[in-house]
Amino acid sequence: MVNKITVVGAGNVGATTAQRVAEKELARTVVMVDVVEGIPQGKGLDQWQSAPIEGFDSRIVGTNGYDETSDSDIVIITAGIARKPGMSRDDLLNTNANIVKQVAENIKKSSPNAILIIVSNPLDVMCYVAKQVSGFPRERVLGMAGVLDTARYRAFLAEALDVSVRDIQAMVLGGHGDTMVPLISYTSVSGIPITQLIDKAKLDAIVDRTRSGGAEIVKHLKTGSAYYAPSAGAVQMAEAIVNDQRRILPCAAWLDGEYGMKGLFLGVPCKLGRKGLEQVIEVQLTSDERAALEKSAEAVREPMKSVKL
């Protein structure tokens, strides 16, 4: 347990994240910040009143400012507008870049030693904005994308095979978008290569569904986007950091030569511990996987050029 974790944004993703953080007792105090007056206060009070039932002692508070967030150990940024049907993650670029910029400026002042976990979309570019504005080292700025994309991939595989999700080992790398790269060569079921259990056509269909997993949910909801799985992914990362678990999770990390790339955030296997990013794990890729990863990197670099800081 750390002293304080702040969640910026009290919408569906932020509020669900705050509740999960509290229920796991990752921090003594969980602060939820939002610009809309009354929303974080009301949701925070409601969540705190669930504590006697759920059995957690983490205190949840809501606020519209950053004074209460001072000296946070971890800040999870979910603020931004949500996708609507027909919108791509890149359609959110300029609006959410300005929001994340303001958040990063405030966090830099109030919690200069915090570790940032970015959830706002378009994810990889928002990580870039947060890092540039905060000036934090790469070890303390991470993006939640690969954990979510991998969870979707694993869920679809478990459904297709009618097996437990616990037995699916997999990893999705690359940008958080249509060019993400599920690593088929590292996908297995209790150690059995996935290619021995599912034919290529069905596996290709699952990969495609994974890439459009968020859009599929947006299409159903019509007025919002996913939040249960994204919040779970962010909290899994926070838990690995708080408890110094040294877990290897696919996260958006600032590359500095790894995989032959530098100067951008991209989903790669990361070892997470108490200091944040402890190591980027470089795995051997097939020629097709490497080509796909490089294509995904280009898809991240392009919108980065449009961001004005």
Tokens of 159: 């459904």
Residue 89 confidence (pLDDT) above 70: no
Catalytic residue flag (residue 220): no
pTM for the complete prediction? Answer: 0.96
Residue 104 confidence (pLDDT) above 90: yes
For the chain, the average pLDDT equals: 96
Q: Per-residue pLDDT averaged across 171-196, rounded?
A: 96
Q: What is the pLDDT of residues 207-219, one digit of tens each?
A: 999 999 999 999 9
CATH number of this structure's domain 146-304: 3.90.110.10
Tokens of 277: 């990013």
Instruction: Note the residue count of the chain.
Output: 309
Residue 223 confidence (pLDDT) above 90: no
How confident is residue 170, by pLDDT bands cut at 50, 70 and 90?
very high
Distance CA 58, CA 176 (A): 31
CATH number of this structure's domain 2-143: 3.40.50.720
DSSP 37-78: TTHHHHHHHHHHTTHHHHT---EEEEESSSGGGTT-SEEEE-
How confident is residue 168, by pLDDT bands cut at 50, 70 and 90?
very high
Tokens of 115: 């570790």
Each domain of the chain, given as residue ranges in start order, spans 2-143, 146-304
pLDDT reported for residue 91: 77
| Residue environment code for 172-194, b if the CB has 16+ CB neighbours within 10 A, otherwise e | bbbbbbbbbbbbbbbbbbeeeeb
Own/partner long-range contacts of 69-72 (Cβ < 8 Å, ≥24 apart): 69/4, 69/6, 69/31, 69/33, 69/106, 69/107, 69/110, 69/111, 70/110, 70/111, 71/3, 71/4, 71/110, 71/111, 71/113, 72/4, 72/5, 72/6, 72/31, 72/107, 72/110, 72/111, 72/114
Q: Per-residue pLDDT averaged across 285-301, rounded?
A: 96
Strand-by-strand arrangement of the 2-8 sheet: 59-63, 27-33, 2-8, 74-77, 115-118, 141-143, 247-256, 262-273, 276-280
Distance CA 122, CA 100 (A): 11
CA angle at 175 for the pair 264 and 255, rounded to the nearest 5°: 30
Catalytic residue among 168, 176, 184, 289: 176
Taking every pair of Cα atoms in the chain, the longest distance, rounded to a whole number of angstroms, is 55
DSSP 28-43: EEEEEE-SSTTHHHHH
